[in-house]
Amino acid sequence: MRYIPPGQEGSIVSVHARYENFIGGKWMPPVAGKYRANLSPATARPICEVAESTPDDVELALDAAHAAKDEWGEMSVAQRAAVLNKVADAIDEHREMLAVTESWENGKPVRETLAADIPLAADHFRYFAAAIRSEESEISEIDKDLIAYHFKEPLGVVGQIIPFNFPLLMAAWKLAPALAAGNCSVLKPASPTPWSILKLMEVLEDILPPGVINVVTGPGAEIGKALAANPRIAKVAFTGETVTGRLIMQYAAENIIPVTLELGGKSPNIFFGDVMADQDEFLDKAVEGLVLYAFNKGEVCTCPSRALIQESIYDKFMALCLDRIAKIKEGNPLDTETMMGPQNSAQQLEKITSYVDIGRKEGAEVLIGGHRAHIGGEFEDGYFFEPTVLKGHNKMRVFQEEIFGPVLAVTTFTDEADALSIANDTLYGLGAGVWTRDGSRAYRMGRAIKAGRVWTNCYHQYPAGAAFGGYKISGVGRETHKMMLEHYSQTKNLLVSYSTKPLGLF
Amino acid sequence: MTATGRPLVRRISATPAAREAVSRLRSARGGPVMFVQSGGCCAGSVPMCFPAGEFITGGHDRLLGDVEGCPFYIDGALDDALGRPAFVLDVADGEPEGFSLGPGAGQRFVSRPG
């Protein structure tokens, strides 16, 4: 099935010529009155215009969030959870519309947004609705008459800055726990992908109390600092790359506020020889597990971008994988048969092309792909790249730097110790994959790999309820788990004496 | 790095277009800028451009040289992982990424292999 592109006659997605910021439950034009064109990466042509905001707009959003925070924070958890469940229901109700919107703006294939991005976004709101209902304060009996009560209180207003690769899902990951814990948010979408979040706000505008979520679009250099360094936020959360992550930590230090960061990765995906012990469904799953580097055209922080394959099976296993990669259908992201859409921007396409050249120059062998893909027709100017595999060794740049595209770096290992050594030889520690039929080995490897998430005999699953976050320079904090509520709460301790006796010191 | 903070080997150069863009940006802002090579994730592998001093460098950041009086840094561990490459600062069409400044006129800075 092919969905009609947003804005064209018959599309399930309506498009306004121009979108304003969503502040205090209203659509507000940017103070400076500036807008910019927002492109679809599939055609490199404009979808609509979005606000090119300035720091004044961030201040208006903060005004609205502060005006809303007391009522929202003091609302009973049952009422807050009810709102979050309504948000989830509304997302489900508009699943196809939001999936097509997300695909058209980001470039990801609609089969992924229909099956993953949108349902997972809805589920995150439900999960945190449930989590906040089941939260309990703690009481410690210090002694018979001295009792410590621990209450969770909202932080207040938080700043959230999200990336272009999963605009709606990353918004859900950040908004759901923040709102559940009683906070109001000022959210800045990534500059290349502001529109789908604004479409989500259209869906939610009658459900959310005004000011609980405020969305300000615009360039990072103009409004990123205005939000992240603002003394009126009580916490900042960011997903993106490391230099901006450091800058945000630095701004947070100026205000002495907490920060959670989800940064880059160069995740190893390790295939032990025993995956080929049988020609069965599990082998088929393992082959797909390697090809998952092309999921979301490789624009995933946890992209399994380094495949480590045991020498003994390399030739046969890689042949199966290359055969599967050759069958990847690339093209119109709104076609449900399409497996890979365009990269998100010309910038991405240029970087990926440059990295493949760097790989070639440092001696990597191109096993498949390696070029810009030409789809033709209305997609001829789209930012498509062929699914690519480079064979080399772990010291090469293409094994060390995150390419953020459909480029797999593959190498071999001799034994478990060798696999572990290569896996951990990276600056990053976000994700990893281990594939083996030996449960003990899977456990040993999983515990020894320095990464926050080790997918074992699976990859790229992101269920609410499984903690996600980075070791090493891949970040601080954990998302997609109820422990995230801690990141969005203060602890209030009332230390109460029920004794009438004085201390006797004075 | 020497005791004076100067790099031992200059590993950053710039195209004429980049030099002109840095000069233009300096004039427009009334002061120097700085570059920090980014690594990882959605805005990785680009020279992030900030007002001079905006990004606090630490002991493990390396100064690779300067362009029109504007310093260019990279994190030491990232530099080592990449094999201490040389970079050429250039400009390309498109908006800057992350919190990075651009030279204006719909352009952004890029770093190409040296």
**Three-state secondary-structure class, residue B17:** helix
Chain A touched by B100 (CB under 8 Å): yes
Contact A277, A271 (CB under 8 A): no
Does A184 participate in catalysis according to the annotation?
A: no
A264 touches chain B (CB under 8 A): yes
SS (H, E, C) A471-491: EECCEECCECCCCHHHHCEEE
B64 within some domain: no
- Could you confirm whether A416 is annotated as catalytic? no
The answer to the question of residue B66 being in a domain is no
Residues 9-38 of B with CB under 8 A from A: 36-38
pTM for the full predicted model = 0.96
What are the residues whose beta carbons fall under 8 Å from the beta carbon of A192, sequence distance 6 or more?
A: A39, A41, A164, A344, A345, B95
Tokens 């940006």, residue located:
B25
Please report, for residues A146, A423, A487, the alpha-carbon distance to residue A140 in angstroms, rounded to integers and kept in the order given. Answer: 9, 43, 22
Residue type, B47: P
What is the DSSP code string of A344-392? S-HHHHHHHHHHHHHHHHTT-EEEE--SB----GGGTTS--B--EEEE-
- Put simply, the answer to whether B113 touches A354 (Cβ < 8 Å) is yes
A138-142 — which CB contacts under 8 Å span 24+ positions? A142/A495
Measure CB to CB from residue A224 to each of B41, B99, B108 and give the nearest one: B99
Residue B112 falls inside a structural domain: yes
Residue A21's SS3 state is: strand
For A401, the closest of B82, B92, B108 (CB atoms) is B82
Residue A432: per-residue pLDDT: 98
CB within 8 Å: A244 and B110 = no
Average pLDDT, chain A: 97
User: Is A263 close to B40, i.e. CB distance below 8 A?
Assistant: yes
Pairing of strands A268-271, A431-435: parallel
Query: Could you give the C-alpha distances from B28 to A229, A274, B24, B31, in angstroms and in order?
Result: 23, 62, 6, 8
Q: Which residues, 6 or more positions from A343, have their beta carbon under 8 angstroms from its beta carbon?
A: A41, A107, A297, A299, A349, A352, A383, A384, A385, A405
Question: Which chain A residue has its CA at the smallest distance from B83's CA?
Answer: A397
Number of C-alpha atoms within 13 angstroms, CB side, residue A489? 20
Q: Do A397 and B44 touch (CB under 8 A)?
A: no
CA proximity to A160, closest of A386, A500, A488, A403: A488
pLDDT averaged per 10 residues in sequence order, chain B, 114 residues: 54 96 95 93 89 97 96 96 95 94 92 91
Structural domain of B49: 8-56+85-114
H/E stretch holding B72: strand B70-75
Kindly state whether residue B61 falls inside one of the protein's structural domains: no
- Inter-chain contact A400–B81, Cβ cutoff 8 Å? yes
Residues facing A139 on adjacent strands: A149
Given an 8 Å threshold on Cβ–Cβ distance, is B48 in contact with A243?
Answer: yes
Whether the CA torsion B73, B79, B82, B87 is positive or negative: it is: positive
The number of helix segments (H) and strand segments (E) in chain A equals 16, 23
Least Cα distance to B34 among B21, B16, B47, B19 occurs for: B47
Task: Provide the 10 A C-beta neighbour count for residue A320.
Answer: 18
Taking only the tens place, the pLDDT of each residue in A378-417 is 999 999 999 999 999 999 999 999 999 999 999 999 999 9
How many C-beta atoms surround the C-beta of residue B60 within 10 A?
A: 10
Q: Tell me the H-state helices in B30-94.
A: 76-81
Length, in residues, of chain B: 114
Neighbours of A119 (CB within 10 A): 17
Structural domains in chain B (count): 1
Interface of B with A in 63-82 (CB under 8 A): 75, 77-78, 81-82
* Chain B residues touching A351 at Cβ < 8 A: 44-46
Residue B108 lies in a domain: yes
- Find out whether A348 and A405 touch, Cβ atoms under 8 Å: yes
Torsional sign, CA B60, B64, B65, B71? negative
Chains A–B, number of C-beta pairs less than 8 Å apart: 129
- Tell if the CB–CB gap between A242 and B39 is shorter than 8 Å: yes
pLDDT at B8: 55
In A115-134, the residues whose Cβ lies within 8 Å of chain B are none
Interface contact A261, partner B, CB < 8 A:
no
Confidence at residue B43, expressed as pLDDT on a 0 to 100 scale:
80
Please state the ipTM of this predicted complex: 0.94
Tell me whether residue B110 is in a domain: yes
Q: What's the rounded Cα separation, in Å, for the pair A109 and A336? A: 7
Whether residue B72 is contained in a domain is answered as: no
pLDDT < 50 regions, chain A: none
HSE toward the beta carbon, residue A386, CA cutoff 13 A: 17
Beta bridge partners of A431: A453
Residue B3 in any domain: the answer is no
